[in-house]
Amino acid sequence: MPLETPARIVRALVGRGYNAEREAVTLIAGSDDPGRTLARVVEAAPDDALRITADHVREVLASAPAADPPGTEPTVPTAADAAASDAAASHTAASDPSVSDATSHDNAAHTSQSTPAEAKVSSGGRNVDPALRSLEIANDMTGQSTGTGEYDDFVKVFRDRYEKLSKMLRGRVNHRPAKAISNMSGGEDAELIGLVDDVRSTKSGHWIIDLEDTTGTFPCLVMKDKDIAGYVDELLMDECIAVQGTLSGDAGILFVDSMHFPDVPRSHRPNTADRDVQAALISDVHVGSQEFMAGAWNRFADWLHTEEAERIEYLLIAGDMVEGVGVYPNQDEELDVIDIYEQYEAFSEHLKSVPGDLDIVMIPGNHDAVRLAEPQPGFDDELRDIMSAHDARITSNPSMVTLEGVNVLMYHGVSLDEVIAELPADKASYDEPHKAMYQLLKKRHVAPQFGGHTRLAPEELDYLVMEDVPDIFHTGHVHKLGWGKYHNVLAVNSGCWQAQTDFQKSVNIDPDAGYAPIVDLDTLNMTVRKFS
């Protein structure tokens, strides 16, 4: 057989409704008559088999082939086959957000990576037309890091933050610099945009907010009986806000009448795709942990090969591919794979089980082998080589990923811990992580507070500002499932694929594991599939 035999074997198995282990393909290709061996393997496969394994092939090779018909070389499905399958395929209807149990499935076919020459391939219920797809990545700072940790670097990043966020607020207030306001007369109206430098309460229960711009700092007083007093509970250090009010008689303080956040405009109308196509949003796989839920992952991967999942053409993974090493105390006692590189090799093997025709995008998280300080560059070349399955796109954390016109902001979500710790429970909690995400959308920054638990890297630009309003905001990290819409932006925290660890028990984290949120890109409606 010609040199491309392995690829032809894969395509032939796809055409017959099977996926295959790499070793199984190698064994078939290395047999005396690969075409005949393939035919015998398919004939001998169990009725409920979804994947041809190396053991299946070995059993066939060890058995007598006398009754087998003369073999032919594997054939590639034709365009006519694809068209016929496409015409027969049925789509599942989109619904309001709900959770569906997918722990058991009918026998379903699998698919493999399609070649560029195949404009459309029918593969066990999945119909793929790569020409209809578009995937673009913006805000990727991989290879762009210039920060050295010097004082000037921090000045640059905060200046950039202020300039970007103040532009969003200048249409709402007539900003005057802090230095200019300090020279105004008492009793005058004044409006100021600044970063929150300090928040403190007075003996009378009022609030003083020190706002800082590029010229200086000015104190602003929020009276406890004002309607806007509730906003003070939502403030984080270093976020950007605008205030309007009246100067005191001595012009030493601004009495605040109104407060504004950069926010998502209420008039925001999200982009949608022009066709019926879906994306699966997952995160926190944690391969290498003893609690990695391999069974749930395999059910998810198997389901992706079914006709029910044929509209899913994109898979977005928001960080923590592996469990990592030394991330928390005594973590080594909970590891199934000790070596970090072996963890990524194991993750890559699990990634191979999903359909090869998916477009996959991955960003790192705090358990991954990248720097902890955000923004996090994408994985280095060595790890990219290990995770080369299906030509996954690797980008930085955070990144804006545009799928057929739909803007998806991917952020792993470490700052959610800080938001939940700092704000009242009705504004942000682990049980409803999407509400904490609403706060980040309101502040138009994925990690506004500096100097807390979230480590921030000083760069010339602040890559953490949400300059463009996303249509979908996708995070992970907190291992909780939650979703909702804020000013028409779909916020999704996608849970995890790791059962509760001893460390999580010690800090009272009860994870939502084995779920896959599925978004209809043409409507932004969402369903959730359960595989645990």
Specify the range with the lowest mean pLDDT, choosing from 142-146, 242-246, 368-372, 515-519: 142-146
User: Based on the domain organization, do 47 and 192 belong to the same domain?
Assistant: no
For the record, the structure tokens of 187 come out as 């009793």
Give the CATH number of the domain where residue 42 resides: 1.10.8
Q: Which phi-psi region, left, alpha or beta, contains residue 312 (left: φ > 0; alpha: ψ -120 to 50)?
A: beta
Task: Please list, in sequence order, all residues whose beta carbon lies within 8 angstroms of the beta carbon of residue 426, skipping any fewer than 6 positions away.
Answer: none
Counts for the chain of helices (H) and strands (E), in that order: 14, 22
User: Based on the domain organization, do 487 and 366 belong to the same domain?
Assistant: yes
User: Based on the domain organization, do 216 and 273 belong to the same domain?
Assistant: no
User: Based on the domain organization, do 480 and 383 belong to the same domain?
Assistant: yes
Q: Mean pLDDT, to the nearest integer, of 21-26? A: 80
User: Based on the domain organization, do 248 and 375 belong to the same domain?
Assistant: no
160 occurs within a structural domain:
no
Query: How confident is the model at residue 418, as a pLDDT?
Result: 94
CA distance 75 to 446: 50
526 occurs within a structural domain:
yes
β-pair type (312-318, 359-363) = parallel
User: Based on the domain organization, do 463 and 349 belong to the same domain?
Assistant: yes
User: Based on the domain organization, do 441 and 375 belong to the same domain?
Assistant: yes
Number of domain units in the chain: 3
219 occurs within a structural domain:
yes
User: Based on the domain organization, do 281 and 406 belong to the same domain?
Assistant: yes
CA distance 492 to 487: 14
155 occurs within a structural domain:
no
70 occurs within a structural domain:
no
CA distance 397 to 7: 34
Query: Cα dihedral sign for 59, 65, 69, 71?
Result: positive
152 occurs within a structural domain:
no
Nearest to 129 by CA among 145, 114, 112: 114
Verify cis geometry, omega within 30 degrees of 0, for the bond prior to 398.
Answer: yes
Please classify residue 73 by burial: count the beta carbons closer than 10 Å to its beta carbon, then call 0-12 exposed, 13-18 middle and 19+ buried: middle
CA distance 316 to 189: 49
Q: For the segment 281-329, what is each residue's pLDDT rounded down to a tens digit? A: 999 999 999 999 999 999 999 999 999 999 999 999 999 999 999 888 8
β-pair type (189-201, 135-138) = unpaired
User: Based on the domain organization, do 280 and 390 belong to the same domain?
Assistant: yes
Q: For the segment 89-111, what is each residue's pLDDT rounded down to a tens digit? A: 333 333 344 566 654 433 333 33
Q: What is the mean pLDDT of the chain?
A: 86
Give the CATH number of the domain where residue 206 resides: 2.40.50.140
What is the DSSP annotation of 498-509? BPPPHHHHHTT-
User: Based on the domain organization, do 190 and 279 belong to the same domain?
Assistant: no
Residue 342: strand, helix, or coil = helix
129 occurs within a structural domain:
no
426 occurs within a structural domain:
yes
User: Based on the domain organization, do 31 and 52 belong to the same domain?
Assistant: yes
Query: How confident is the model at residue 176, as a pLDDT?
Result: 94
User: Based on the domain organization, do 241 and 322 belong to the same domain?
Assistant: no
Specify the range with the lowest mean pLDDT, choosing from 76-90, 199-213, 249-263, 473-487: 76-90
For the record, the structure tokens of 204 come out as 């009378």
Query: Cα dihedral sign for 247, 250, 252, 253?
Result: negative
Domain that holds residue 47: 6-60
